[in-house]
Amino acid sequence: MAAGPAAALKSFEERASDAEARLAKLEALLLNEDGPSEASSSAMRDLESKLDAATKECLAEKEQNRKLTVENEKLQYRVSHLIRTIKEAESR
């Protein structure tokens, strides 16, 4: 059950990693030029906004995953007690 959320988070982490790599390449290009051009500045801002959005989405998914994990643990605890109660009632 834990593999599902981890797989979902993996795609967000990959997208964030790709965005960071593209951003690093653009920064390297900017350092090699005399000054940033309007096109490179625009592309840089675009990539930074996409990186921020992917990061926020990843954090939201991680929080949702944490909440679901806690809820799952609570439900498993309740099920184990219900099973024990049923077994005790059947043995009487």
- Residue 73: predicted pLDDT: 96
CB atoms within 10 A of CB 54: 19
Question: What is the tens place of the pLDDT at every residue in 62-77?
Answer: 999 999 999 999 999 9
Question: What is the tens place of the pLDDT at every residue in 35-44?
Answer: 556 776 787 8
- Residue 1: predicted pLDDT: 45
Could you tell me the domains of the chain?
Answer: 3-91 (1.10.287)
DSSP string, 44-78: HHHHHHHHHHHHHHHHHHHHHHHHHHHHHHHHHHH
Separation CA 63–CA 29 (nearest Å): 36
Report the Cα 21 to chain-centroid distance in Å.
18
Pairwise pLDDT comparison (14 vs 39), residue with the higher score: 14
Question: What is the tens place of the pLDDT at every residue in 17-41?
Answer: 888 888 888 778 777 765 556 776 7
